[in-house]
Chains A and B, each alone.
Chain A
Amino acid sequence: MSDTGGRPLSFVLNGAPVGPLDVPEDLTLLEVLHEYLGLTGTRMACGKGVCRACSVIVDAEDGSSALRPACLLPAHSFAGKRVRTVEGHATRDATGEVSKLSPVQRAFLAHYSFQCGYCTPGFVNAATVLVERLSRAPVARGEVEQTVLAALDDHLCRCTGYVRYHEAIRDLILDTPGLTRDR
């Protein structure tokens, strides 16, 4: 690991408190998720915060949420924050098994949205943040496509050509009451 020595790190992950963990200063959040917490759903790809496969959600006090590149940012920069990863979206039963997928996850599955799946956790997180944002601030129905494009455009995918990701989220938004307004 590292010879810089660790210091305690605590944060909230998928609704449950984590830590304090003894985490070296130079570890990224992605390394802590993978190596300390056994959560491998967040993907390492470019390592430079460009492709967004590693995006996690950080929830702010005011109820808004933002995406952050876990491959790049130090784990300690998430101290005290509320973080969500792809493992946090589905409903789980008492034994911890997934009992129901989230609407975004179901939409992606129903639309055959992904192929190799490497970029999928980032798309799930970005689309979830978008859907939650629209539930607070609905968008005109005629602006849904450009809203989806703007929200997902930083996310890279080599396999799919993006169509099934974008159509899935467009249709989910149009079909979910409260996310759109007529004009």
Chain B
Amino acid sequence: MAGRLTAAGLPPLALEALAARAHAQGLATGAVVHTFNRWQWAEAEFELAKGLRVRLPIDGLALRSGDAYRVVPRTASFFPPAQRNGAGVVYYTAAAALVELAIDVRTGAVRLLRHHTLLECGRPLVSELVSGQIQGGVAMGIGHALYEELPLYEDGPGSGGWNFDRYHLPRASEVAVFAQSAEILPPLSDSDPPKGMAEVTVIPVVGAIANAVAHATGLRFRELPITAKKLQKALA
């Protein structure tokens, strides 16, 4: 009922109650998974309990019981054919972001003061284009984190009546245009190839901003964007 476990006529069980029981009985209380993708997720079978085998789109699993994680051995694995490596996009650029921000507790407005991106892209081919992709991606991530809202339902952007007067794209003043930096880490080896980066820097800055907001306010947002309106309401 409303996403909670229940039985006919009984009140739904709260997550806290379920978690307390799981801890008390030594059941699984956390999971860490590993995944592998080659244009298709690898799958594997795991025996979660005696006689309970499940096939999941992951290739590694550890479950927590008490304070310890225990690796659950695979009983079978199903990897996509190696020929799919030929599709090319299997060697990815890694990225990370640091942000410093200020929050106006009266209006809820978040202002980015500085940000820093780390990138490991193998051997860059055109450094200006790599940094251009970094900067553009970060700005888009900032928009995703703070400004660009696409509400569902009738009056959402599907109405056809939306434009830049209602959809706020970050301005230069909102992306710390003169107070940002990036660091391209050296290739992993002499033979490290150039790696596809696309717009990977869109991603880490979003988490960095949400974490910075949490550090500053103690408020953990689970839905984006963290608009001034939402933050103002949560701070009230």
Question: What are the residues of chain B within 8 A of A161 when measuring CB–CB?
Answer: 132, 134-140, 175, 177
Interface residue? A51 (CB, 8 A): yes
Complex contact B172–A153 (CB within 8 A):
yes
Name the one of B129, B165, B175 contacting A162, with C-beta atoms under 8 angstroms: B175
* Chain B residues, CB < 8 A from A39: none
Could you tell me if B140 and A112 are in contact, using CB atoms closer than 8 angstroms? Answer: no
A39 to chain B, nearest CB (A): 24
Nearest Cβ distance between residue A84 and chain B, in whole angstroms?
Answer: 23
Taking a contact as CB atoms under 8 Å apart, the answer to whether B171 and A156 are in contact is: yes
Chain A, residue nearest B137 (CB):
A161
Distance, CA A165 to CA B177, complexed state (A)? 10
Interface hub of A154, A155, A162 (most chain B Cβ within 10 A): A162
**Shortest Cβ gap from A153 to chain B (Å):** 5
Question: Do A156 and B165 touch (CB < 8 A)?
Answer: no
Q: From B129, B135, B140, B163, give the contact of A163 (CB < 8 A).
A: B135
Which one of A45, A152, A161, A167 has the greatest number of beta carbons of chain B within 10 Å? A161
A166 at the interface (CB under 8 A from B): yes
Main secondary structure on chain B at its contact with chain A?
helix
Give Cα distance in the complex from A112 to B132, angstroms: 8
Per-position binary interface string of chain A over residues 146-183, scored 1 when its CB falls under 8 Å from any chain B CB and 0 otherwise: 00010011111011111111110010000000000000
The answer to whether the Cβ of B191 comes within 8 Å of any Cβ in the partner chain is: no
B165 engages A48 (CB within 8 Å) = yes
Number of interface residues, chain A, beta carbon within 8 A: 27
Is there a chain B Cβ closer than 8 Å to A138's Cβ?
Answer: no
Q: Are A163 and B180 in contact (CB under 8 A)?
A: yes
Q: Report yes or no: A145 in contact with B132, Cβ–Cβ below 8 A.
A: no
B164 on interface, CB distance cutoff 8 Å = yes
What is the 8 Å Cβ interface bit string for chain B, positions 69-108, against chain A (1 contact, 0 not)? 0000000000000000000000000000000000000000
User: What residue of chain B has the Cβ atom nearest to residue A150's Cβ?
Assistant: B173
Indicate whether B178 reaches chain A with its CB closer than 8 angstroms. yes
B173 with A149: CB separation less than 8 A = yes
Q: In the bound complex, do residue B169 and residue A156 qualify as a contact, i.e. CB atoms below 8 Å apart? A: yes
Contacting residues of chain B (149-163) with chain A, CB-CB under 8 angstroms:
163
Check B132 against A115 for contact (C-beta < 8 Å). yes
Q: What total count of A-B pairs have CB within 8 Å?
A: 71
CA distance A167 to B135 in the complex (A): 12
1/0 per residue, CB under 8 A from B, across A104-116: the answer is 0000000110010
| A47 interfacial by beta-carbon distance below 8 Å | yes
B67 within 8 A of A: no
B164 touches A156 (CB 8 A): yes
Chain B residue nearest to A163 in the complex (CB): B135
Chain A residues contacting B134 (CB-CB under 8 Å) are 161
Q: Is the CB–CB distance between A158 and B169 below 8 Å?
A: yes
Q: Which of B135, B137, B171, B175 contacts A164 (CB 8 A)?
A: B135
Quick check: B165 and A50 within 8 Å, CB to CB?
yes
A112-B165 in contact given A158-B140, A161-B136, A161-B175 (Cβ < 8 Å) = no
Q: Decide: A46 and B164 in contact? CB cutoff 8 A.
A: yes
CB neighbours of A51 from chain B (8 A) = 164, 169
Are A149 and B172 in contact (CB-based, < 8 A)?
A: yes
Instruction: For B129, list chain A residues within 8 Å (CB).
Output: 112
Q: Determine if A159 and B177 form an interchain contact, defined as CB atoms under 8 angstroms apart.
A: no
* Residues in B lying within 8 Å of A, measured CB to CB: 128-129, 131-132, 134-140, 163-165, 169, 171-173, 175, 177-178, 180
Q: Which residues of A approach B to under 8 Å, CB–CB? A: 45-48, 50-51, 111-112, 115, 145, 149, 152-156, 158-167, 170
New A-B contacts (4) at CB < 8 Å, excluding given A50-B165, A162-B172, A166-B172: A159-B132, A160-B136, A162-B135, A163-B131
